[in-house]
Amino acid sequence: MSFPEDDQFSVDTNQTNPQNNEQAVQKEQILKQILTSEARMRLNNIKMVKPELSDLVEQYLIGMATQGKMPGQINDEQLKQILLSIQQPKRDFKFNRI
């Protein structure tokens, strides 16, 4: 019984899809236009800790911007409010000791 060589199943991770790269650049350009520098810094910090939350916020912001529902740039305080509204509420548990 022979086993397949390792290089038959290797995936070249250095190869990037040009279309994905283009979309990422376009997304960054839109975010630069609609977020202040402080808000962008906050979003980048969140991206390092919770990438899925950051993706949700980015999709929401880009959707609002493309629909023309954004009056101006989003500042840090407005981004905090958006983050609070998107995040799932935490549940508090109370234990009654007898």
Domains assigned to the chain: 37-87 (1.10.8.140)
- Claim: this prediction has a pTM higher than 0.95: no
The tens digit of pLDDT for each residue in 38-69 reads: 999 999 999 999 999 999 999 999 999 889 88
Q: Please say whether the dihedral angle defined by the alpha carbons of residues 82, 86, 87 and 89, taken in this order, is positive or negative.
A: positive
* DSSP states along 1-44: --PPPGGGS---TT---HHHHHHHHHHHHHHHHHB-HHHHHHHH
Predicted local distance difference test score (pLDDT) of residue 24: 85
CA distance 53 to 40: 14
Count the alpha carbons within 13 Å of 51 in the hemisphere toward its beta carbon.
1
